[in-house]
Amino acid sequence: MEKPFEIFKVSEIKIQYLPDFKLSERPIITKSSDAYKLLLSQWDTGIMQFLEEFKIILLNNANHVLGIVNIAMGGKGAVMVDMRVIFSIALTASASKIILAHNHPSGKLIPSSADRLVTNKALEAGKVLDIEVCDHIILTSHSYLSMKDNGDF
């Protein structure tokens, strides 16, 4: 004899994105220097020389900034980046595009093999999810390198 329908306990999942500004008040990113200026204004420059951090800029189709998200903080020479975290946040915010960004505490603006690997993984994941990866910015408190402008992708 079959049991009647059992009640299962499951967690409710709530997906929410609550922008605090009108679209017209949001900055627009048209070139890598715009992204660098925005990132620098939001980055704790006191930590920049000591710890590596990874952030993303979320953009809509018109390149209006939806937000900047702290993804991970690492040590002096590396930061671990999880693509699932990056793209789950981008999907939650309905971002059409993202810009990857991290700092180099060493002050050297040369992409490492790990930087290239993260960029390539993000490009591939973005293709599957239809989220464009516009750039990967490596920054210091004094300057930056755009991997896209540099021809790295």
pTM of the model: 0.88
The pLDDT of residue 144 is 98
The pLDDT of residue 66 is 93
Among 36-40, 45-49, 126-130, the range scoring the smallest mean pLDDT is 45-49
Mean pLDDT of the chain: 92
The pLDDT of residue 12 is 78
The pLDDT of residue 3 is 63
Q: Which residues contact 108 (CB under 8 A, 6 or more apart)?
A: none
25 or 4, higher pLDDT = 25
Q: Which of 60, 62, 80 is nearest to 71 (CA)?
A: 80
The mean per-residue pLDDT over the stretch 97-126 comes to 97
The mean per-residue pLDDT over the stretch 110-138 comes to 98
> Cβ(54)–Cβ(69) under 8 Å?
no
83, pLDDT greater than 80: yes
| 67-91 b/e (C-beta count within 10 Å ≥ 16 → b) | bbbebeeeeeeebebeeeebbebbe
Residue with tokens 């605090």: 20
Cα 1 from Cα 102, distance rounded (Å) = 61
55-80 residue pLDDT tens: 999 999 999 999 999 999 999 989 99
